[in-house]
């Protein structure tokens, strides 16, 4: 079994108002065998779509390379826009060494509620994926269950939006389950009626374009 541990500590600071929450980066980030166009930072995989999406929304001019400059560009963006990152999985075991969420076994979770309580300006959690098995929303619901906190549904349309109240506080946190910024989610995107409508009117429209439109409202608001 391969022990897939998260290589990065949460990137959170006092001013953060939004929190990006995923699961684990590809195993090569754990072993340190990065490719030349990977970035040694959260969501830095050459195959990941999060930074290309944000690059288009904010016109960032990011470089995609294994350099200090690439890391600093991303950190500076997050700081300037009051966005933190705290993936929910600390470690998992795998029989097959790949990045599949479904392949994770004996998962150890980070206490995301602790970070939400500690950083009191946080208002929105942006899940990089939904409630399918081993997705970030799925694991978050597991954290809430023992303390009997439920997510109140705000919108059942994709991306699904929920709200909950932090225990022993009057703070209410909104969660948004965005379509995962990974190639594995492309099939799900392709099955959405909203994507099919957009594709029908523009043959060049693709799954990255769809995510840019979906993410824009929640990252700019």
| pLDDT tens digits for range 97-118 | 998 888 999 999 999 999 999 9
Distance CA 62, CA 59 (A): 8
Which range among 59-63, 118-122, 156-160, 172-176 shows the weakest confidence by mean pLDDT? 156-160
User: Is the Cβ–Cβ distance between 218 and 159 less than 8 Å?
Assistant: yes
pLDDT at 74: 98
Give, in degrees to the nearest 5, the angle at Cα 40 between 36 and 45: 65
* Cβ partners under 8 Å of residue 44, min gap 6: 25, 29, 34, 38, 51, 70, 71, 74
pLDDT at 221: 85
pLDDT at 195: 93
- Look over the chain and give the mean of its residue pLDDT values, rounded to a whole number: 96
Q: Give Cα 91 distance to the centre of its chain.
A: 16
């Amino acid at each position: 079994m391969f022990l897939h541990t998260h290589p990065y500590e949460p990137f959170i600071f006092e001013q953060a108002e939004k929190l990006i929450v995923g699961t684990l980066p590809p195993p090569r980030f754990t072993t340190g065998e990065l490719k030349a166009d990977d970035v040694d930072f959260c969501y830095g995989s050459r195959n990941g779509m999060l930074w290309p999406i944000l690059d288009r929304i904010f016109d960032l001019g990011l470089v995609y390379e294994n350099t200090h400059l690439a890391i600093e560009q991303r950190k500076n963006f997050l700081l300037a826009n009051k966005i933190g990152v705290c993936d929910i999985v600390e470690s998992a075991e795998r029989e097959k060494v790949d990045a599949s969420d479904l392949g994770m076994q004996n998962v150890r979770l980070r206490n995301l509620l602790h970070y939400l309580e500690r950083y009191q300006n946080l208002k929105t959690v942006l899940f990089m994926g939904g409630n399918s098995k081993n997705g970030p929303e799925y694991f978050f619901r597991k954290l809430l269950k023992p303390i009997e906190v439920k997510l109140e549904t705000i919108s059942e349309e994709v991306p699904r939006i929920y709200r909950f109240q932090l225990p022993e506080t009057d703070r209410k946190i909104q969660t948004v389950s965005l379509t995962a910024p990974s190639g594995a989610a492309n099939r799900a995107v392709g099955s959405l009626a909203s994507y099919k409508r957009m594709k029908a009117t523009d043959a060049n429209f693709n799954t990255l374009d769809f995510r840019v439109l979906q993410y824009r409202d929640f990252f700019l608001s």
